[in-house]
């Protein structure tokens, strides 16, 4: 009898886990222990499905590093018992969570697939069923008795993406996510087409779980009119260890002396500043234009083509490792799990 992969669904909250009360119209949490009753199509999948929920499912707007650790611990505790994991999550912060878990779960040899929906699972026009069914199917894919996908991914509206390459681009359309700087890993149509050449290739190392994250960081988006007082107040925030600076284009920022001087002073006293582009796609290339050359000269870290979401996760992850300041720049500018080119 052919082997049936064992898949664990981890429900954290979000629209995908809601049902609309037919009388009041109000949304209420869906009982995932009765999943097969509600979605009988899952019985057609060639796998065994188990479920586990957060004790109190949350709206993804309330996601934070403590809950990332909770997700990680569920996967760690069940890692040997299951062949793949599907994390059901609200879409608003899904890219942040998928990015975080890609760093927290090193040496993955099994798939961790994030998915969710724009409409509740009980809605007549819901996208939840397709997203859920295909995410489970992808998590079940095997070749030569091993999982095909061995990384943290995000599946939404017919496309599978590397999780730490995604960003949410639309609050209303079903195609809510994009991966601006890396191709889709798989596409679901009449057939499920996997682009194997883009998948991460893992070795035989044992799973390594990191649970220490340092959230003493901030994102600052450069805009015309950013003044000295505001910049200085951000740079001097108590306890601040890292700043993600969203700059123009390929990493450009104002070249006024006061602006560079404030950043230089902050870097000199140990603040770690990463330069990422505020464009939806593309890469930081400090020195390509004169307006970014000075940023490179004062020791700013290049985020390359990393997304802001992945930069947040990577900075928390690396700060949690207490890497010496003089080694942090090199560590950040090197890919850890396919998050940058």
**Cα–Cα dist 288/215, whole Å:** 31
DSSP state of 252: B
User: Left (φ > 0), alpha (ψ -120 to 50) or beta: where does 233 sit?
Assistant: alpha
196-200-203-206 Cα dihedral, nearest 10 degrees: -130
Give the CA dihedral 54, 56, 59, 63, nearest 10 degrees.
-60
- Listing DSSP states for 138-196 in one string gives HHH-EETTEES--SEEEEETTEEEEGGG-EE--SSSS--EE-TTS--SEEESSSEEE-G
Question: Of the listed 15, 115, 134, 308, which one is catalytic?
Answer: 15
Backbone angles phi, psi at 55, to 5 degrees: -50, -40
Helix H or strand E encompassing 50: strand 48-53
- The reply to whether 15 belongs to the active site is yes
| Number of helical H runs and strand E runs in the chain | 9, 20
What tokens were used for 333? 């500018």
Q: Measure the CA–CA gap between 244 and 315, rounded to whole angstroms.
A: 9
What are the DSSP calls for 289-309, one per residue? SHHHHHHHHTTPEE-TT--HH
What are the distances in angstroms from CA 291 to CA 247, 248, 265, 266? 10, 10, 18, 19
Reduced to 3 states, what is the DSSP secondary structure of residue 315? helix
23: Cα separation from own chain's centroid: 37
Q: Which residues make Cβ contacts (< 8 Å) with residue 305, sequence separation at least 6? A: 181, 282, 283, 284, 340, 341
Q: Which residues are catalytic?
A: 15
């Amino acid at each position: 009898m052919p082997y049936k992969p064992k898949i664990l669904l981890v429900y954290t909250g979000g629209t995908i886990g809601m049902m609309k009360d037919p009388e009041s119209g109000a949304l209420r949490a869906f009982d995932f222990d009765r999943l097969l009753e509600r979605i009988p199509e899952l019985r057609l999948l060639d796998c065994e499905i188990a479920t586990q929920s957060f004790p109190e499912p949350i709206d993804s707007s309330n996601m934070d590093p403590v809950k990332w650790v909770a997700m990680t611990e569920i996967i760690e505790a069940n890692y040997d018992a299951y062949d793949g994991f599907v994390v059901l999550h609200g879409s608003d912060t899904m890219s942040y969570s998928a990015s975080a878990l890609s760093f927290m779960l090193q040496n993955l040899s099994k798939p961790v697939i994030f998915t969710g929906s724009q409409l509740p699972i009980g809605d007549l026009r819901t996208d939840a069923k397709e997203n859920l069914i295909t995410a489970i199917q992808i998590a079940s894919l095997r070749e030569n008795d091993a999982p095909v996908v061995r990384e943290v991914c995000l599946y939404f509206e017919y496309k599978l993406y590397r999780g730490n390459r995604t960003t949410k681009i639309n609050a209303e359309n079903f195609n809510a996510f994009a991966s601006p700087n890396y191709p889709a890993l798989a596409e679901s149509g009449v057939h499920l087409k996997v682009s194997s050449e883009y998948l991460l290739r893992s070795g035989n190392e044992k799973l390594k779980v990191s649970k220490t994250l340092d959230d003493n960081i901030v994102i600052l988006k450069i805009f015309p009119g950013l003044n000295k007082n505001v910049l200085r107040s951000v740079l001097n925030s108590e306890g601040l260890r890292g700043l993600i600076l969203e700059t123009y284009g390929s990493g450009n920022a104002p070249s006024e002396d006061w602006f560079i001087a404030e950043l230089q002073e902050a870097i000199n006293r140990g603040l770690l500043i990463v330069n990422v582009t505020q464009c939806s796609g593309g890469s930081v290339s400090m020195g390509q234009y004169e307006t970014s050359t000075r940023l490179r000269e004062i020791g700013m870290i290049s985020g390359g083509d990393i997304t802001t979401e992945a930069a947040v996760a990577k900075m928390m992850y690396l700060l949690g490792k207490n890497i010496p300041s003089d080694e942090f720049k090199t560590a950040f500018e090197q890919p850890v799990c396919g998050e940058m080119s």
